[in-house]
Amino acid sequence: MLNHKNIIITGAGRGIGREIAKKLSAEGATLALIARTGSELKETLEIIRPRNTNTFYLIADISDEKEVINSFNYIIGRMGKIDCLINNAGIQPPIGVFYDIKLEDWKKNLNVNLFGTVNYTYAVINKMIEQRKGKIVNLSGGGSTSPRPNFSAYGVSKTAIVRFTETLAEEVKQYNVDVNAIAPGAINTKMLEEVLDANKSAGREFDDAIKRKKEGGTDPNIAADLICFLCSDMSDGITGKLISAPWDDWKNKDFQEMLKTNKDFGTLRRIDDKTFFKK
């Protein structure tokens, strides 16, 4: 599906980022892997490089605009074109009720999750406009569609990413650049361990985390499959949407057509009688 595609993945050192990298590489893509920890990036590269010797990694903090610009300049110099950007990197803390956490930790979350996504998108977008073609996939979920008590910073950042996705999609639609967000599901990653470590500060999610630890979470390959589809030419015309990897029937052609034709389908909207409950 992705032969001759050049793709940037942030947060590619571990967890869902690594699974995404493995899937996209298996589909023929050449990857630029971004994360803060070199040892983890090296492990990811060793797993996938036998499939594509042109794949490489760069150490960068996506919340630092200068590091993003420097890394992107290197990538574009090496790859020449960028077909897809996957904004996967993110952090979960602080965990706890808003009035008990440190405000500096709350702001740090938005600096990584929201502004990290914005930074890399800003670096890439003009190149895609110049090419008249591109795909951007942002990782959302985690409280973006409903309140998530004790995880206010994470929920706010992921909700903001959805609205950023919708707005940018409208601005660049004329240049054949598709921008979407996905909710990957409750995947067992380092974030699950953070919930367990937080104990009762995590509220009702602590008991859910114990159960998930025993029974297993959502298969990360489900999200990787959706991202592969959204990076491919098969998804052309689907833009400005939030799609749930485990819950939405996104492989269904009728569902895909709804995403293309119904402006409110797969978006964040206020429910009211005028728009959604027509008599």
- Residue ranges covered by each domain of the chain: 6-187+220-276
Instruction: List, by residue number, the catalytic residues.
Output: 154
Q: What is the pLDDT of residues 27-82, one digit of tens each?
A: 999 999 999 999 999 999 999 987 778 999 999 999 999 999 999 999 999 999 99
Summarised one tens digit per residue, pLDDT across range 174-220 is 999 999 999 997 766 677 777 677 778 877 877 777 877 777 767 88
For the question of whether the overall pTM of this predicted structure is more than 0.85, the answer is yes
Q: Which residues contact 68 (CB under 8 A, 6 or more apart)?
A: 60, 62, 119, 120, 123
CATH class of segment(s) 6-187+220-276: alpha beta
* C-alpha distances out from residue 56 to 12, 87, 164, 165, Å: 11, 17, 29, 27
Answer whether residue 173 shows pLDDT above 90.
Answer: yes
Kindly report, residue by residue over 97-142, the tens digit of the pLDDT. Answer: 999 999 999 999 999 999 999 999 999 999 999 999 999 999 998 8
pLDDT value of residue 278:
55
By the 10 Å C-beta count (0-12 exposed, 13-18 middle, 19+ buried), 216 is classed as: exposed
CA distance 178 to 161: 15
Between CA 108 and CA 105 the distance in angstroms is 5
pLDDT at 275: 63
